[in-house]
Amino acid sequence: MVRVLFGLVVAVATVSNAQNIAVTGVPTKPGPNGAVPIRRELRDLQKNFPDQFNLFILGLKNFQAMNEKDMQSYYQISGIHGMPYKPWNGVVSTSDWEETGGFGGYCTHSSILFAPWHRPYIALWEQNLYASVQRVAARFPAGTLRNKYVAAAKDFRSPYWDWAMKPPNNGDAFPTLFVSRNISVVDTDGRNKTVRNPLHRFDFHPVNPSAGDFDESFSRWNYTIRYPNAAEFGVSHDEVISGILANEMASLRSNVGLLLMSYKDFDAFTYSQWDSETDPGRYGSLEDVHNRIHDVTGGRGHMSYLSVSAFDPLFWMHHINVDRLWAIWQDLQPNSFMSPKPAPYPSTFSTNWKQTEDRNSPLIPFWDKTGSKFWTSEEIRNSTTTFGYAYPETQEWLYNGNNTAYQASIKSAVSKMYQMNVFNRAMDDMRPVSKRSSLFARRRQTDGPVPPPLQHLAPNNTYTEYIFNIRASKIGMGDSFRIFAFLGPYDKSNPSNWHMEKNLVGRVSILTRDMGNNSTAAPRMDPSTHMTSGTIPLTSALLADIIMQDNFMEDSEPLQSLAPEKVVPYLQKNLDWKATMFGGDEEVDLMEIPMLEISVASTSVRLTDEGIPEFESEWVVHKEATMGRAGGMVDEETY
């Protein structure tokens, strides 16, 4: 049905099927102190919980093999996000997405509902994966073996992939678990076997179980794919992902740490919409770094496109980590939650453009535990235990109601995991080449947070943090695109290799929702009403240049300090940026990107004795760092 509220046309979902599938998560009875089972990092699950990992592989394989027309199959649940642009569980579309050339999936991107909507979505996926794991465990031979796996299955929760953490044991940045075609398991007959790896890809059976589920471009693939190329049809080249991800790992860790430790407002933290009131220290967002992972892992495969990304098993491990980061942040900022915002362009399967979205908006198509109404953000915001899980960092019950101690433990864990002490990280990252820098000759053990060779850069444990900000319109380019940031020399003539340049600092990926048949509607829109933003931290790269003293343009001087009067002139000569489209490797003229503006901002940071950063709230924009170049700032306001 359609209602008119406050002069706005509002889409309200209607249901054509009385059998509403309730999203419950895994049914869980918390322990006496409130404890619930833990979602664990994928590599931790494999190493330290091998029985649950074995069940995970077998259960996921079983889940993926379900009849694709079953509403609770892997195929149908993945299709909620985008294609096949059809009702799920009878929740039909009443929006104007078809008439306006909108997006035919239910998913909420560039929306204030981005993080909350995906929480019940993942819970729905997990409750069905859990059911599959239980079925698998019960198939083992009766006796000790079955008892072992049934016990392991009881507390099973889906793992996540933490793409920002330093890989354990110096492993690959992109876990081989996603790359290997096959994997060893203990099968349900009790024998060791090699089976198809369900984390590597999802095999459609068939690709179009109902006519027209996929358009022509995706109907040609019988399975999900990453980094395909024209020369080898149907072959994933996801072995390249690890090198690409490793090359940007420092800025990715910095970005996650910056979000968790310095952002205090839910709206700024969660989604990537930009407006003229956006603070220069708040151009980044959880959605921004989320987009980056879709870009890095997709390579023009399924993960690159919102319409089909959820069919790739990687999507779920990625989004569970996004949910984890929100859970961590929300427990650090329990009093901050969303303010009402207009729904972004274009309209989706369930929401009209400009429709007001707030904490009480229905998270369609996810029925609550009663099956009579949809979940809302307000109902799921404060605790993941609503759906029967927690994360390693969010075991609040361990602190017996002492919230101060609980939050201190989160900050300590985040700071350690994402190496938020940039000086210790710089020393660790540079250790393999330490003989090339005289700074390392002065290294001593110290009780303070800053190693002695770098203490001159942080007097009184205080230093200046720098970020590279991007804002642009999401429409007008016809596809998703990315901006690369470089600090120092690089080969400008080879866009296809920019992601592997040693002086690449990072990227901002502008992920757009695929348009419907009427995609020509987009150019008629005002680009200034569809703005997005992103951030790339610069401080780690600046520190590396200070330490090495050999990585700067010919007409520049070596960098000696993090003081603005030294850094800004250095950035003027050494900072550069380029753009390419998701769909190709050719360079994009920066002047063609609507409303593009590149800027640099800084703030003061103090390290506690434990090395935990405390960010000042005020950020200073350094116009001169980017002024006079394509996409750079100008003297007068540009928006």
d(CA 118, CA 87): 17
Q: Is 323 helix (H, G, I), strand (E, B) or coil?
A: helix
Q: Averaged over 418-422, what is the pLDDT?
A: 94
For residues 490 and 350, which has the higher predicted lDDT (pLDDT)? 490
Cα angle value 170/176/177 (rounded, 5°): 125
Q: Quick one: pLDDT at residue 14?
A: 41
- Residue among 378, 353, 570 at smallest CA distance from 474: 353
Which of 40-44, 530-534, 550-554 has the weakest average pLDDT? 550-554
**For residue 291, pLDDT beyond 80:** yes
Q: Averaged over 488-510, what is the pLDDT?
A: 95
**For residue 107, pLDDT beyond 50:** yes
Q: Quick one: pLDDT at residue 639?
A: 42
Q: Averaged over 468-483, what is the pLDDT?
A: 92
Q: Quick one: pLDDT at residue 155?
A: 97
For the chain, give the mean pLDDT.
90
Confidence tier at 520 by pLDDT (50, 70, 90): very low
CB 638 within 8 A of CB 597: yes
- Residue among 291, 358, 287, 293 at smallest CA distance from 329: 287
Confidence tier at 607 by pLDDT (50, 70, 90): very high
Q: Quick one: pLDDT at residue 430?
A: 67
DSSP string, 374-412: EEEHHHHSS-GGGGT-B-GGG-GGGGTT-HHHHHHHHHH
Q: Quick one: pLDDT at residue 517?
A: 39
**For residue 628, pLDDT beyond 70:** yes
Q: Quick one: pLDDT at residue 551?
A: 61
d(CA 615, CA 608): 11
Q: Quick one: pLDDT at residue 554?
A: 62
For residues 326 and 429, which has the higher predicted lDDT (pLDDT)? 326
CB 619 within 8 A of CB 281: yes
Q: Quick one: pLDDT at residue 524?
A: 53
Confidence tier at 446 by pLDDT (50, 70, 90): low
**For residue 424, pLDDT beyond 80:** yes
In the chain, what is the greatest distance between 2 CA atoms, to the nearest angstrom?
76
Tokens of 208: 């179009």
Confidence tier at 9 by pLDDT (50, 70, 90): very low
Q: Averaged over 207-212, what is the pLDDT?
A: 91
pLDDT per residue over 525-536, tens digit each? Answer: 677 778 999 999
Q: Quick one: pLDDT at residue 513?
A: 76
Confidence tier at 549 by pLDDT (50, 70, 90): confident
Q: Is 133 helix (H, G, I), strand (E, B) or coil?
A: helix
The single-letter code of the amino acid at 31 is G
Cα 384 from chain centre = 18
Q: Averaged over 383-395, what is the pLDDT?
A: 95
Confidence tier at 556 by pLDDT (50, 70, 90): low
Q: Quick one: pLDDT at residue 519?
A: 43
Is the whole-model pTM more than 0.85? yes
Q: Quick one: pLDDT at residue 309?
A: 97
pLDDT per residue over 155-191, tens digit each? Answer: 999 999 999 999 998 899 999 999 999 999 999 999 9
Confidence tier at 552 by pLDDT (50, 70, 90): low
pLDDT per residue over 331-380, tens digit each? Answer: 999 999 999 998 888 888 888 888 999 999 999 999 999 999 999 999 99
For residues 391 and 433, which has the higher predicted lDDT (pLDDT)? 391
Confidence tier at 222 by pLDDT (50, 70, 90): very high
